[in-house]
Amino acid sequence: MDFAGKTVLIVGAGGMGLASARRFAAAGAHVVLSDIDAARLSEAKDALSCAIIAGDIAKPSECRRIVDEAFSLYGRLDMLLNAAGVWVEGPSEHLTEAEYDRVLDINLKGAYFLSAAAIAHLEAVQGQMIHIASDAGLMGNSGAAAYCASKGGLVLLVKALALELAPRGVRVNAICPCDVETPMLKGQAEIYGAGDPQAYREALKRFYPQGARTRFATPEEIAAFIFAVAGIEAITGAALQIDFGTTAGK
């Protein structure tokens, strides 16, 4: 798909967001990258020569501001790619209200209000939005109830928006990856690995059907998949796995 002259707003400047930014920039898009981490954004700007907007999508007013500023930069918005997300795990009875709110505010509420802010701009150019959900939005993960709730909610949000917006020419899809070699996975292993991040990673791999050949997906693989989905008009309302078969069954 030719993205020359089109504007792609990517929210979340982590591994998948950055890889996607490179992919769309190579296709000629005006890439606007947003994140709450100003230092991360500055590094991305230097590496990609993209526009940047700092903001916190846990706040609906910030969602609106990010989208409107991205639109104002180039006078159009053709695609919203929401790659922001946070992970929390542990026994459900120990999860605090603040931890629960943070996960839902970023992973689900932020996605909702980013989408709402982008609809009018996307309708004007028959554009699209893609949200990065998770294989944990399609199946339960023991010890990650809040995260599953946020990503499961995101998958159904995408489906509902796709039906609502199809008559207006706007496509909406969800990408559902497995574990991906990103800063989030690195932090996850360090925080929840009980002092042994490598053992934590190996435990995750036991859920995969590849046995000794198991590896995690790369951000570049996810970005390639997103780019492909973005170019196929017939795909909307989908929750598309890219997960080495983790959601295929036992």
Catalytic residues: 147
Q: Name the amino acid, one letter, at 60.
A: P
- Residue 171 per-residue DSSP state: E
What tokens appear for 71 in the block? 């639109």
Secondary structure (3-state) at 213: helix
Residue 124 amino acid letter: A
CA distance 2 to 24: 9
* Residue 199: CB atoms within 10 Å: 11
Write the CB contacts of 91 (distance below 8 Å, at least 6 apart in sequence). 143
Q: Which residues pair with 175 in a beta bridge?
A: 132, 240
